[in-house]
Amino acid sequence: MQKGRVIRWLKKEGDSIEKDNPLLEVEADKVTTEVESPVSGVLLKICVPEDTEVAVGQPIAFIGKIGEPLPSINVAAEGKATPEVETTSTGSREGPRTVEEEAEKVRASPLARALAKQHGLDLAQIRGTGPRGRITKEDILEFMELRMDTRAVKEIIPLKGIQKTIAGRMAESIRTAAHCSMTIEVDASRVIALRREVNAELQAKGEGGISFTDILVKAVATALTEDPILNSTLEGERLKVFRDVNIGIAVEVETEGASGLLVPVVREAHNKSLLQIAREARELIERARSGKVSHSDLSGGTFTITNLGMFGVQTFVPIINPPQTAILGVGAIIEKPAIVNGNIKPQPSLHLTLSFDHRVVNGARSARFMQRLKQILETEISEQT
Amino acid sequence: MPEQSKLDVVVIGAGIGGYVAAIRSAQLGKTAALIEKDRLGGTCLNWGCIPTKALLATADFIYAAKRSEELGVTLSDVTVDISRAMARKDAIVNRLTEGVRLLVKKNGIIFIEGKGTLLSRSQVGVQKPDGARETIEAGSIVIAAGSEEPKLSFVEVDEERILTSKGALTLTEVPKSFVVVGGGAVGIEFAMIFNALGAHVRLLESLPNLLHTLDADIGRTYQRVLKKKGVEVHLNTEVKAVKLRSDGKVGLKAVQRGSALDMDAEKVLVSGRRSPLITDLGLEKIGVQVKDGFVPVDAHQKTSVPNIYAVGDVTGGKMLAHVAMNQGVIAAENIAGLGSTFDPRTVPTCVYSQPEVASVGLSEDEAKEQGHEVAVGKTPLLASGRALTLDETEGLAKVVCDAETGEILGVHLVAPHATELIGEATLAMRMECTSEEIGALLHAHPTISEALMEAARAISKKAIHM
C-alpha cells in the first residue's frame, strides 16, 4: 500500500478522543477501514480533508493537548475541498509528494537527473549501476535506448484508483505464486437442464433466474468442502486452510469511465442452497456495478471464480487472486460432437481451467479436485444439493 | 615471504603502475612478485614527475625572489647553486624510492632485481644483474614495463649537450643558452626551470599552439606567460636537424612557416611522445597482441591473453603517472575478481610550471568535433581577488559544457594551484555534476577556486564578477 483516501472524519477539530477509538475512515486497496486513534488527546488539526488521497507516511492530523503548538510541517491540502491553499506565501507547493519530489529520493547523478527531466523519465523506473545503485548518465541512455518507441500514441490513459490496485495485485500474484494451470472438459447437459428447470420455476414466480456461474459456485463449494486444500492462503511458511468457503465472483465494472474489476464474495457458499447463492450473487453483482459495494462485500474471499463464457471464450488461464491459492476460469458452453458408445452425438461442452499455486498444492491433488468438480457437474448437481 | 614457485601475480616493472598493482594485489590477499631491471619507482619517481617538481620548486622560489621588491621585501645577493638544487632533488627521490621499497616489503611482495621476459602465459624469466636466471610461475601477469625517452629521427641524444629530460635532470651547471624542442608539458617545465635558473631559453614547437593536446585557450595563455618571463617561443617551427658542432655548441636547423631558421645553443633538450618499453618482453611470442608499439587493453586492463594484464605507458593513451597508478589498482582488482574499470574520461593533465596548468576532459574543439553543442564559461584570473593578492593574475578558468544537458565535458585551468584545484573538477565530472552544481556550490573567499565557480556560473550567464 502506498496511497490511501481519507473517506470521512469521525471527529471534528477540537474534539477529545480516547486511544483506540475510531478517528476516521480510510480507503486503501479498494477496502474501507476505520482507523483508530493511536493516542488519547484532542484532535488539534485535520490536515487532509474528506475524500482526499494521501501518500503513506504523510501527516493527516495532529492530536495533542489543547493549546499545544503544531509542528511547522507541510500538511496536505490538495483536493476539491480546499483548492485555494495549494501554495503558501513562500511559494512552495504543499500537498502530496510530486513525481519530482519522489525522484529526489532516488540516488542519481545531477546529470542523470537533468537528462531524466529533459526526457520526462521517471527515475524510479531506472536501474542504477553506479556506486550503491546510483543512476548515471549511462543508465539513462541505456533506458532510453530500450524504451525507444516510434509507435504513434493515440492517447495516454493514466491508471487510477481501482485499476492501479488491480495492476499491482496481478503483478504481485505472478511474482509470488507458482502459477500452474489445468483444463478439464465437462459435459454440461445436466447443468443446462438444471438451469432451464430452475429458471422456468422462478420465472413462473416472477423471480430472477440463476446463472451458470451460480451453479459453478455451488459445485465448487461442494468440492472444496470435501477437499479444502485449495480453500486456503499461504502465509510465509504456513498454509492457512479455511473452514468456510467464501467464493469471490470476478465482475467487470465501470469506474471513472474505465473498465475495472471487482470480486464480491458469496460467504459460506457451502452452507447455502443454489437459490440462496443465486440471490446473493445477483445482489452483490448489482451493488458492484452500481458502485454501492461495501468493504465486507469484497473481503473474506477464499477462492475465486471468473466466467468469460458469455463472450464465447472457450478456455483461458486466469491469474490467481492473491493471497488465495486458486481460481477457476469458466469458458463458454459449446455444442460439440462427442463419441458416446461408438456413436457421434451432439454434446454441450464446458471447459473449466484451474490456476493454482504450486507452492501449496501439487498437480495430482488439483487434478483430483477438477475430476470431482466434473463429476458433481455431470452427475450430482441439483437444486437441492 | 610466500613460496616463490607458484605465485598469484607477477608484475614486470616497478614503476608507479607496477608497484601499485603489486601492493593492491597483496592487499587483496594475493601472493605477488615485482620485477625491476632499473630503479624502483620507475620514471615517475626517478626521472620524471618527482625530480622535475623538485627543481620547479627552486624555479618558483627564484621567480618569487625576482618580484620580492614589489611585495615590499628587498633581497640582496640572490644567487643560485644548481648543485644544491640537484642534491635536494636527489634526496627527495631517494627518500621516496626508499619509501616504496619499505611498502613493497611490508606487503610481503617478492622484489626481484633483473630483467623480466615472458616465457609462457604463466611464466616469467628473470635475468639478474649477476647473470643468474630465475623462472617465476604465476596465475596472472601484469606488464608495467613503462616507457623510455622519445626516439626522434632528427637527433642523436648524448645526454651531455643534446639532452632528454633524463640528462637535463643531472646538469651540474646552468647553460647560458638552452633550446627546448617541443612545447608539451615536459618542454614547458624545463623551459621554465632553466629560465628561472638564468639561461636564455628558446622553445620550438612545430604546431601552431603550445600544449596542443589541451584546450587552445591554455596554449594561447601560456604563450603570453612564457613571453613575459623572457622565454622566446617559436611556434610552427619544425626542427630538421640537431647536431653537435666543433665549437662545442649544438646547432639546430629548423623551418618556420617555410623559411629556414637556424640557431645554436649550449644545450638542447628534445621532448616528445615517449616510447613504450615492450620490444624485448616476448609479448608476441606468447600471443599478446601488440599494436603500433603499444599493448592494447580493455577497460579491465586485460590484454588479448586473458590472464595477462598491462598498465601504464605500455598501453598507450595518456602516458601519465596517475593513469598508471589507477590502472595498476584496476588490474589488481580484476585479478582478484572485483571487476573494476578504467574511466579514460576523467584523467587530469597537469603542468607544474608557473602558473600551473591543469585540465580534465574535452577541450572546446574536441567537444565540438564530437558533435556537442557547446556552452563555454571563462573567467580571467584578473577578476580574482586571490590572484591579485598572490600577485599572479595571469591565467584563466574555463568550463566546457554540453549546452543541452549541462554535462561538464572539460575544465581547463591556468592558475596558481591549478593542479590541486583540478581535483574538484575531476570529482564533479566523475560524479556527473552539471555546471549548475559547481556554480551553486559555495567556494571559500578569497580563493582561486572561485574562478572555477564563476566560469561555471558564466555558462548560464550567472557570473557575478564579470
Rounded Cα distance, A192 and A215, in Å: 10
Rounded Cα distance, A25 and B302, in Å: 63
Question: pLDDT grade, residue A80 (50/70/90)?
Answer: very low
Please say if the pLDDT value at position B52 is more than 80.
yes
Cis peptide before B306 (omega within 30 of 0): no
Least-confidence region, from A156-160, A281-285, B124-128, B437-441: A156-160
Pairing relationship of beta strands B232-234 and B200-204 according to DSSP bridges: parallel
| Average pLDDT over every residue of B58-62 | 95
Rounded Cα distance, B438 and A207, in Å: 78
Residues B300 and B414 in one domain: no
Please say if the pLDDT value at position A149 is more than 80.
no
| Average pLDDT over every residue of A133-151 | 85
Orientation angle between helical segments B321-335 and B16-27, nearest 10 degrees? 30
Q: Give the model confidence (pLDDT) of B414-426 as tens digits.
A: 999 999 999 999 9
Question: pLDDT grade, residue A14 (50/70/90)?
Answer: confident
Please say if the pLDDT value at position A161 is more than 80.
no
Q: Tell me, what's the pLDDT at A92? A: 40
Residues of B with CB below 8 A from A111's CB? 405-407, 432-434
Residues B281 and B141 in one domain: yes
| Average pLDDT over every residue of B264-286 | 94
Please say if the pLDDT value at position B439 is more than 80.
yes
Domain annotation covers residue B180:
yes
Rounded Cα distance, B286 and B296, in Å: 15
Check if A123 contacts B (Cβ < 8 Å).
no
Please say if the pLDDT value at position A130 is more than 80.
yes
User: Under a CB-based contact definition with an 8 Å cutoff, are residues B422 and B346 in contact?
Assistant: no
Residues B143 and B285 in one domain: yes
The enclosing domain of B183 has a CATH number of 3.50.50.60
Domain annotation covers residue B154:
no
Q: Do A111 and B404 touch (CB under 8 A)?
A: no
Residues B170 and B240 in one domain: yes
Residues forming a β-bridge with A28: A31
- Enumerate the domain spans of chain A: 3-85, 102-147, 163-380
Rounded Cα distance, A369 and A365, in Å: 6
Q: Tell me, what's the pLDDT at A183? A: 97
Cell triple for B204 = 620550438
Residues of B with CB below 8 A from A136's CB? 432
Domain annotation covers residue B233:
yes
Check if A110 contacts B (Cβ < 8 Å).
yes
Q: Do B432 and A136 touch (CB under 8 A)?
A: yes
The enclosing domain of B383 has a CATH number of 3.30.390.30
Cell triple for B1 = 615471504
Please say if the pLDDT value at position A375 is more than 50.
yes
| Interface probe, candidates A111, A140, A141, chain B, greatest B C-beta count within 10 A | A111
Please say if the pLDDT value at position A100 is more than 80.
no
CA dihedral B178, B184, B186, B192 (to 10 degrees): 50
| Average pLDDT over every residue of B80-92 | 96
Q: Do B405 and A112 touch (CB under 8 A)?
A: no
A102-147 topology per CATH: Dihydrolipoamide Transferase (4.10.320)
What is the residue whose three cell numbers read 613503462? B146
Cis peptide before B355 (omega within 30 of 0): yes
Residues B438 and B361 in one domain: yes
User: Under a CB-based contact definition with an 8 Å cutoff, are residues B129 and B135 in contact?
Assistant: no
| Average pLDDT over every residue of B118-129 | 96
User: Under a CB-based contact definition with an 8 Å cutoff, are residues A319 and A170 in contact?
Assistant: yes
Q: Tell me, what's the pLDDT at A98? A: 56
Residues B31 and B175 in one domain: no
Residue after which a domain boundary falls, among B235, B270, B305: B270
Query: What integer best gives the mean pLDDT of chain B?
Result: 95
Interface of B with A (CB under 8 A): 404-407, 431-434, 436-437
**Residue A213, helix vs strand vs coil:** helix
Rounded Cα distance, A205 and A210, in Å: 13
Please say if the pLDDT value at position A71 is more than 70.
no
Residues B63 and B185 in one domain: no
Of all residues in chain A, what percent carry a pLDDT higher than 70? 89
Q: Nearest CA to CA, how far is A136 from chain B (Å)?
A: 7
Please say if the pLDDT value at position B44 is more than 70.
yes
Please compute Rg for chain A using Cα positions: 26
**Residues in chain B, total:** 466
Domain annotation covers residue B350:
no
| Average pLDDT over every residue of A105-123 | 89
Please say if the pLDDT value at position A79 is more than 70.
no
Please say if the pLDDT value at position A77 is more than 70.
no
The A residues from 124 to 163 touching B (CB cutoff 8 Å) are 136-137
Residue A376: DSSP 8-state: I
User: Under a CB-based contact definition with an 8 Å cutoff, are residues A269 and A247 in contact?
Assistant: yes
Domain annotation covers residue B167:
yes
Decide if A358 is catalytic: yes
Residues B447 and B404 in one domain: yes
Q: Give the model confidence (pLDDT) of A210-219 as tens digits.
A: 999 999 999 9
Please say if the pLDDT value at position A74 is more than 60.
no
Residues of A with CB below 8 A from B405's CB? 111, 114-115, 118
Residues B379 and B452 in one domain: yes
**Residue B405, helix vs strand vs coil:** coil
| Average pLDDT over every residue of B85-111 | 97
Please say if the pLDDT value at position B355 is more than 70.
yes
Residues of B with CB below 8 A from A112's CB? 432
Residue after which a domain boundary falls, among B325, B344, B363: B344
Residue after which a domain boundary falls, among B303, B323, B344: B344
Q: Tell me, what's the pLDDT at A355? A: 97
Residues B248 and B301 in one domain: no
| Average pLDDT over every residue of B55-74 | 94
Q: Tell me, what's the pLDDT at A87? A: 29
Question: pLDDT grade, residue A90 (50/70/90)?
Answer: very low
Closest by Cα among B181, B216, B223 to B202: B181
Least-confidence region, from A6-10, B22-26, B284-288, B291-295: A6-10
Angle at B29 (CA atoms; ends B25, B35), nearest 5 degrees:
40
Q: Which residue has the higher pLDDT, A160 or B377?
A: B377
Residues B266 and B282 in one domain: no
Residues B11 and B143 in one domain: yes
Domain annotation covers residue B230:
yes
Please say if the pLDDT value at position A73 is more than 80.
no
Q: Tell me, what's the pLDDT at A20? A: 81
What is the residue whose three cell numbers read 475524500? A51
Least-confidence region, from A84-93, A317-326, B33-42, B239-248: A84-93
Residues of A with CB below 8 A from B406's CB? 111, 114
Please say if the pLDDT value at position B235 is more than 70.
yes
By C-alpha distance, the chain B residue nearest A115 is: B405
- In Å, how far are A216, A237, A359 from A363, measured between CA atoms? 21, 20, 10
Number of domains in chain B: 3
Q: Tell me, what's the pLDDT at B426? A: 97
Q: Tell me, what's the pLDDT at B56? A: 97
A3-85 topology per CATH: OB fold (Dihydrolipoamide Acetyltransferase, E2P) (2.40.50)
Which residue range forms the structural domain that includes residue B367? 355-459
Please tell us whether the domain made up of A163-380 is placed in CATH 3.30.430.20. Answer: no
- In Å, how far are A25, A51, B263, B428 from A11, measured between CA atoms? 11, 15, 99, 53
**Residue B343, helix vs strand vs coil:** coil
Domain annotation covers residue B155:
no
Per the confidence metrics, is the pTM higher than 0.80? no
Domain annotation covers residue B157:
no
Q: Which residue has the higher pLDDT, B465 or B65?
A: B65
Rounded Cα distance, B151 and B96, in Å: 28
User: Under a CB-based contact definition with an 8 Å cutoff, are residues A282 and A193 in contact?
Assistant: no
| Interface probe, candidates B432, B438, B441, chain A, greatest A C-beta count within 10 A | B432
